Amino acid sequence: MLLNSKTRPKFKFLTSWILATFRHASKKVDKNLLKQMEDDFQKLADSKSKSLLRRHLTKEIFDKLKTQTTPSYNSTLMHCISSGLCNHDSGVGLYAPDPEAYKVFADLFDPVIEDYHKCFRKTDKQPETAFGKGKDFENLDPDGNFIVSTRVRCGRALKGFPFNPCLTEEDYNKLQSEICAALKNLKGEYKGCYESLSTMDKCSQQKLIDDHLLFKEGDRFLEAAGASRFWPIGRGIYLNDAKNFVVWVNEEDHIRIISMEKGGDLGKVYDRMVGGVEALGKQLQFNRDERLGFLTFCPTNLGTSIRASVHIKLPKLMNDPEELKELSERYRLQIRGTSGEHSEAKDGVHDISNQRRLGLTEYEIIKEMHTGIKGLIEAEKKAKSC
Ligand code: ARG
């Protein structure tokens, strides 16, 4: 039933109804929810899905976790896996409905985290935050032959709030007003304006999406994870005057802090993001776990939560998928389409970034990405045209 697009809305409705009904009810997992989980688990197990969820959710782990709930929010295993059950084409398929889920459902999260972040074992610990200095990273493309633009972002959650599937309408509004109050105090190059999605007209919204400044609406992976409830309440975007520093409020994470500009000056873009994070961190309390680092809704963003990317044209390598795959694995890079995740590449422009975000300091993450992109450009220069 899950995979069939005609029946998917019915499934979604049923699941969210069941989840909503039992969210604040007893700590026992309801039998209807259990039955639905069992059926959908079996469908995933029987499918050819390549998601990390399918790989690591063994029958044994499923049986152990299916009746567990988190102490403060009563989140169930279904909250964690509904996106992957609904979307068999997920790469990962797992989200944490609240911070405690990483512990209660650790038998599932830990192997997924280890697999995604390449060898971060359950005995490993995220190092202390160390941003270092962007000036150590020279411009990746001073002559402007390959890189269209560079972007660095990180995510933050505020202490005292759960993640999307457990947030109430009031929580969304509260988060938005607390974050906005902090944004209003930003000075210098960070000075700008916040606009709530509820008051933004469709035309300006589309323009911001086209300029890669704003998130898209209706991501089916997030929606199935229960992250689009009360949309667009509490969601919005802050832009500085130069439009090279952006803050997203209540999209996937409570806060996404982004720095971007044309060209390949990674160090400068990174420093701008760091300055923004530090200014906000003086006013807001971020949720950081001793072992997992900064806590985020999706396990792919734990640790530093940093994704440093370039929009880049590598025409020769793009014609040699085998070589490109080999290089991206060697340098631990992730390749996406032009409009980000689950999108196609337009005009040969790809979005390439660091894959792992956990297990290294912020500085090391940027260094890994810098080395990787440099390596790709070298390989492009050497590649023969066909
Ligand atoms: N849940 C989606 C998948 O598994 C996205 C995973 C990573 N991306 C993200 N924006 N958190 O494919």
Ligand 1 center–CA 155 separation, angstroms: 14
Going by pLDDT thresholds of 50, 70 and 90, the confidence category of residue 342 is confident
Going by pLDDT thresholds of 50, 70 and 90, the confidence category of residue 332 is very high
Q: What is the CATH number of domain 134-385?
A: 3.30.590.10
Q: 158 near 254, Cβ under 8 Å?
A: yes
222, 298, 355, best to mutate for ligand 1 pocket (most atoms within 8 Å of CB): 298
Query: Tokens standing for 15?
Result: 């699941």
Report field, pTM of the whole predicted structure over 0.85:
yes
Q: Which sign, positive or negative, has the C-alpha torsion 352, 356, 358, 359?
A: negative
Ligand 1 center–CA 383 separation, angstroms: 32
Going by pLDDT thresholds of 50, 70 and 90, the confidence category of residue 2 is very low
154 is catalytic: no
Per-residue model confidence as pLDDT tens digits over 251-276:
999 999 999 999 999 999 999 999 99
User: Cα(196)–Cα(167) distance, rounded to whole angstroms?
Assistant: 18
First to last CA, the chain: 45
Ligand 1 center–CA 190 separation, angstroms: 29
Q: Is the pLDDT of residue 196 over 80?
A: yes
Name the class of domain 8-117. Answer: mainly alpha
The pLDDT score that the predictor gives to residue 143 is 97
Q: Which of 23, 307, 356, 357 is catalytic?
A: 307
Protein residue closest via CA to atom 7 of ligand 1: 300
The pLDDT score that the predictor gives to residue 20 is 57
Query: Which residues share a beta bridge with 150?
Result: 261, 310
The pLDDT score that the predictor gives to residue 6 is 39
Angle at 228 between CA 160 and CA 183, to 5 degrees: 50
Going by pLDDT thresholds of 50, 70 and 90, the confidence category of residue 184 is very high
User: Cα(376)–Cα(386) distance, rounded to whole angstroms?
Assistant: 18
Q: Is the pLDDT of residue 250 over 80?
A: yes
To the nearest whole number, what is the mean pLDDT of the chain?
92
Q: Is the pLDDT of residue 49 over 80?
A: yes
Protein residue closest via CA to atom 4 of ligand 1: 92
- For 238-267, give one letter per residue: b (16+ CB within 10 A) or e: bbbeeebbbbbbbbbbbbbbbbbbebbbbb
Cis peptide bond prior to 232, omega within 30° of 0: yes
Ligand 1 center–CA 302 separation, angstroms: 13
Please state the three-class secondary structure of the chain as a single string.
Answer: CCCCCCCHHHHHHHHHHHHHHHHCCCCCCCHHHHHHHHHHHHHHHHCCCCCHHHHHCCHHHHHHHCCCCCCCCCCCHHHHHHHHHHCCCCCCCCCCCCCCHHHHCHHHHHHHHHHHCCCCCCCCCCCCCCCCCHHHCCCCCCCCCCEEEEEEEEEECECCCCCHHHCCHHHHHHHHHHHHHHHHCCCHHHCEEEEEHHHCCHHHHHHHHHCCCCCCCCCHHHHHCCCCCCCCCCCEEEEECCCCEEEEECCCCCEEEEEEEECCCHHHHHHHHHHHHHHHHCCCCECEECCCEECCCCHHHCECCCEEEEEEECHHHHCCHHHHHHHHHHHCEEEEECCECCCCCECCEEEEEECCCCCCCHHHHHHHHHHHHHHHHHHHHHCCCC
User: Cα(231)–Cα(16) distance, rounded to whole angstroms?
Assistant: 15
Q: Is the pLDDT of residue 9 over 60?
A: no
Q: Is the pLDDT of residue 234 over 70?
A: yes
How many Cβ atoms from other residues are within 10 Å of residue 64's Cβ?
14
Cβ(298) to ligand 1 under 6 A?
A: yes
Per-residue model confidence as pLDDT tens digits over 67-102:
999 999 999 999 999 999 999 999 999 999 999 999
The pLDDT score that the predictor gives to residue 17 is 56
Cβ(171) to ligand 1 under 6 A?
A: no
Query: Tokens standing for 87?
Result: 């979307």
State the average pLDDT over residues 219-236. 97
Q: 61 near 45, Cβ under 8 Å?
A: no
Per-residue model confidence as pLDDT tens digits over 129-178:
999 999 999 999 999 999 999 999 999 999 999 999 999 999 999 999 99
Atom of ligand 1 nearest to the CA of 298: 11
Ligand 1 center–CA 201 separation, angstroms: 28
Residue 21 φ/ψ, nearest 5 degrees: -65, -40
Atom of ligand 1 nearest to the CA of 297: 11
State the average pLDDT over residues 56-61. 98
Going by pLDDT thresholds of 50, 70 and 90, the confidence category of residue 346 is confident
| Segment among 40-44, 175-179, 208-212 with least mean pLDDT | 208-212
Query: In the chain, pLDDT over 90 holds for what percent of residues?
Result: 85
229 is catalytic: no
Q: Is the pLDDT of residue 7 over 50?
A: no
Q: Which residue has the higher pLDDT, 53 or 5?
A: 53
Residue 20 φ/ψ, nearest 5 degrees: -65, -40
Instruction: Tell me the domain boundaries of the chain.
Output: 8-117, 134-385
State the average pLDDT over residues 176-198. 97
Per-residue model confidence as pLDDT tens digits over 276-304:
999 999 999 999 999 999 999 999 999 99
